[in-house]
């Protein structure tokens, strides 16, 4: 038994050692068994290495994307007029016009972010996540924030 262990410990289980052992009909069965046991032992030590590498890939991609994201930001547009009193109708018109300009500019934004590989896109979870199309909600402001 001790002899078997010595053989298995001293011979690399892959490549030449196994190839040579298999190619010779004179190779003792004890040596073949020892090689097999050593190979199994090494596989056992590694565990599910392929799955571990995949999990690491996913983790690294997720962290890299999270790190690359810029810090949260708010955008505010303020016009300050000191010393004059505007009629309510005029103020409403200005607010409406400002809103229109801001929305028109936002509508043109195209960061190309949909073309970037993300953890979800790599898993092919989304094309076309489309929902319904009925109106709802009210306009309340223009405060934008980035995810943390």
Partner 1 sequence: MPDASAPILCPSSRCEEGNLLLGLVNAQGRIDFIAERVQIDANFVAQAKEGRPPEQRFRFSSPCLKRGCEKWDGERCGVAKILHERAPELLTQEPAAALPRCSIRASCRWHGEYGDSICFTCTWVITERGNQLEALVEQAQSEI
Contacts with partner 1, residue ranges (CB under 8 A): 58-59, 62-63, 65-66, 68-70, 74, 100, 103-104, 106-123, 125-148
* Minimal distance, residue 132 CB to partner 1, in Å: 4
- Rounded to the nearest whole angstrom, what is the least distance from the CB of residue 80 to partner 1 in the complex? 21
Between residues 43 and 65, which has the closer beta carbon with respect to partner 1? 65
Which residue's CB is nearer to partner 1, number 49 or number 66? 66
SS3 20: helix
Could you tell me the smallest distance in angstroms from the CB atom of residue 26 to partner 1? 45
**Run of H or E including 92:** helix 88-107
Closer by beta carbon to partner 1, 83 or else 108: 108
Residue 128 CB neighbour total at 10 angstroms: 4
CB 51, min distance to partner 1, A: 11
Nearer to partner 1, 15 or 135 (CB): 135
∠ CA 144-138-126, rounded to 5°:
60
In 3D, which of 142, 144, 146 has the Cα closest to residue 77? 142
d(CA 148, CA 144): 13
CB closer to partner 1, 1 vs 143: 143
Give 2-42 as a DSSP string.
HHHHHHHHHS-SSTHHHHHHHH-TTS-HHHHHHHHHHHHHH
Residue with tokens 């290495």: 49
Q: Minimum distance from CB of 90 to partner 1 (Å)?
A: 21
């Amino acid at each position: 038994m001790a002899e078997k262990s010595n053989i298995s410990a001293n011979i690399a289980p892959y490549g030449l050692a196994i190839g040579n052992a298999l190619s010779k009909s004179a190779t003792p069965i004890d040596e073949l068994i020892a090689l097999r046991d050593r190979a199994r032992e090494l596989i056992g030590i590694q565990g599910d290495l392929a799955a571990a590498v995949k999990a690491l890939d996913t983790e690294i991609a997720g962290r890299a994307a999270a790190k690359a994201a810029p810090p949260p930001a708010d955008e505010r547009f303020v016009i300050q007029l000191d010393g004059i009193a505007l009629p309510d109708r005029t103020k409403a018109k200005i607010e409406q016009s400002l809103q229109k300009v801001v929305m028109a500019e936002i509508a043109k934004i195209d960061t190309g972010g949909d073309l970037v590989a993300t953890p979800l896109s790599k898993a092919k979870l989304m094309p076309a996540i489309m929902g319904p199309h009925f109106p709802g909600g009210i306009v309340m402001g223009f405060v934008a924030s980035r995810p943390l």
